[in-house]
Amino acid sequence: MEGDRLGGECPNYACNPSKTLLRSARIYSYLKRAGEFGLSVGEVSFDWKKIATRRDHIIELITQNGKRYEEEFARAGIALVRGPARFVSEHTVEVDGRGLTAGRFVVATGSRPQIPDVEGLDRVGYLTSREAVLASGLPSSVAILGGGAVGVEFAQLYAAFDVPTTLIDNTDLVTTEDPEIRAYLRGLLEAQGLTVYEWAEVTGAGREGNRRWLTLTVEGRQERVVADEILVATGRAPAVDDLELQIPGVEMSDQGIVTDDTLQTRHPDFWAAGDVVGKMLFTHVASYEGYVAGTNAAGETPPLHEDLRVVPRVTFAEPEIASVGLTEPEARQSGYEVAVRRHDFSTQSRALMMGELNGFVKIVLSAASEEILGGHIIGPRAGELIHEIAVAMRNGLRFSQISETIHAYPTLAEAVGAAEAVKTPPSKKPPRELKG
């Protein structure tokens, strides 16, 4: 089973507590905007204990109070043994003193938080996503180390509930996204009241009474950030430390266990899948790799080969960010002559009706063939919209085959089909809100 990314009895591919909390945050933000829609709701407030109770209830529904997997495994004739495991030989693993022998193994132990080497950080204490997502209360203020998907999601979650929030990254925010998306996101976060530091080196950490501080070097100047809590969201590392995986042919790289495209290691009886391989740290990729590795370990012939050419990725920010394929710079660096199609949600009928004007659709094409090289969306329901582009890419469709398809009116999906050629750089207007 792939490792637990966010805690407790909730493996990351089955449920994601942070998304439940983000849903509460989004409803809260809508309530505060009720006047824009001609509604009066009186004084708006929230009860974190009730929000946390709903989170726990959703987890129970999805996992069936922790019994979902036991029942599924039992129906499939799979024995489930819980406990810390370590290899004592090539074909024997010990779990709580019990030796289990098998002819073949799939290692899918997931990942753990990767903690940066910052002087004093261990002494002052910090949260990871595991603790933060299951917390019974909110911090009075928070500094978040790491501007990837997890860091951005937590930053907006805290800010939505009026927690003063500072977001710090040693590169660009959501660095794997298209530069236009990154720039637009930073503008959004700052407009929402967050303090954002990019390309910041964290040089030290300490305490003042009950509060914590961080020292930063940003563009040659020194900065000091003070907050009640520090949340570390600086990436993941393969969770293999306790496995004692000194098996000939099972090799480790900086990313994780080394495999070929059938997910087999150089040992003929070992496969690996999910975060522990470290190729793409997404729940949907872990589930897919688990199927490939498990099928191959079971002796399927010919073996399955993984194909990660078209993998959608989503950051559940407000608004959502979703992408697939190459960014514009990546496409140019790969030697393509690039054409770009773009459509802003601010001119899109459904977005106007919803009062969700922020964001745009950007599609990167080969200028010569109209092959879709990548799709990038920041805006309402981006995580749903990206799949139209992903399916087109997976099946070798050209952009004209999307744009010539009739899209229902009024829907957000129209923004994908309506994307137009970009002849000049897009304006860098600040994020907009529809005012009543």
Q: What is the CATH number of the domain that holds 56?
A: 3.50.50.60
Here the tokens at position 135 are 């917390």
Confidence at residue 423, expressed as pLDDT on a 0 to 100 scale: 61
pTM, entire model: 0.90
157 vs 135: CA distance, rounded Å:
13
CA–CA distances in Å: residue 47 to residues 53, 252, 325, 388: 10, 46, 40, 38
| Helix H or strand E encompassing 78 | none
Structural domain including 386 reads 313-421
SS3 state at 159: helix
Helices 149-160, 179-191: axis angle to 10 degrees equals 20
Q: Are residues 189 and 247 in the same domain?
A: no
6 vs 132: CA distance, rounded Å:
9
Q: Which amino acid is it at 162?
A: D
Q: Is 432 within a domain?
A: no
Handedness of CA 156, 158, 164, 166 (dihedral sign): negative
Q: Can you give the CATH number for the domain in which 324 is found? A: 3.30.390.30
Mean pLDDT by 10 residues, the chain (436 residues): 36 66 95 94 94 93 80 88 93 94 96 95 94 93 97 96 97 96 96 96 94 96 96 95 93 95 97 96 94 94 94 96 97 96 95 96 96 97 97 96 95 93 55 43
Final residue before a domain boundary, out of 234, 249, 268: 234
CA–CA distances in Å: residue 135 to residues 61, 159, 164: 19, 16, 17
Q: Is 193 within a domain?
A: yes
Q: Are residues 257 and 343 in the same domain?
A: no
Handedness of CA 173, 179, 185, 191 (dihedral sign): positive
Helices 149-160, 17-32: axis angle to 10 degrees equals 40
Q: Is 103 within a domain?
A: no
158 vs 227: CA distance, rounded Å:
13
Q: Are residues 126 and 227 in the same domain?
A: yes
Q: Is 101 within a domain?
A: no
Contacts of 231 (CB under 8 A, 6+ apart): 126, 127, 128, 129, 132, 142, 143, 144, 145, 151, 154
90 vs 72: CA distance, rounded Å:
28
Q: Is 144 within a domain?
A: yes
Confidence at residue 300, expressed as pLDDT on a 0 to 100 scale: 82
25 vs 158: CA distance, rounded Å:
9
In this structure, are residues 51 and 25 in contact, taking their beta carbons and an 8 Å threshold?
A: no
With CA atoms as reference, report the closest residue to 394 among 289, 324, 341, 347: 324
Q: Are residues 230 and 262 in the same domain?
A: no
In this structure, are residues 230 and 205 in contact, taking their beta carbons and an 8 Å threshold?
A: yes
Q: What is the DSSP letter of 35?
A: G
Length of the chain: 436
Q: Is 253 within a domain?
A: yes
Q: Which amino acid is it at 303?
A: P
| Helix H or strand E encompassing 298 | none
Q: Are residues 221 and 247 in the same domain?
A: no
With CA atoms as reference, report the closest residue to 148 among 233, 214, 25, 23: 233
13 vs 3: CA distance, rounded Å:
9
In this structure, are residues 146 and 290 in contact, taking their beta carbons and an 8 Å threshold?
A: no
Q: Is 96 within a domain?
A: no
Q: Are residues 245 and 230 in the same domain?
A: no
Here the tokens at position 89 are 């030989």
Q: Are residues 355 and 383 in the same domain?
A: yes
Final residue before a domain boundary, out of 234, 262, 288: 234
Final residue before a domain boundary, out of 219, 234, 249: 234
Contacts of 253 (CB under 8 A, 6+ apart): 278
Give the up-direction half-sphere exposure of residue 353: CA atoms within 13 A in the CB hemisphere: 7
77 vs 71: CA distance, rounded Å:
10
Q: Are residues 139 and 192 in the same domain?
A: yes
| Structural domains of the chain, count | 3
Q: Are residues 190 and 131 in the same domain?
A: yes
Here the tokens at position 364 are 């990167």
Q: Is 258 within a domain?
A: yes
Confidence at residue 2, expressed as pLDDT on a 0 to 100 scale: 33
Contacts of 156 (CB under 8 A, 6+ apart): 22, 25, 189, 192, 194, 317, 318
Q: Are residues 286 and 385 in the same domain?
A: no
Q: Which amino acid is it at 213?
A: W
280 vs 313: CA distance, rounded Å:
10
Q: Are residues 250 and 230 in the same domain?
A: no
Q: Are residues 250 and 160 in the same domain?
A: no
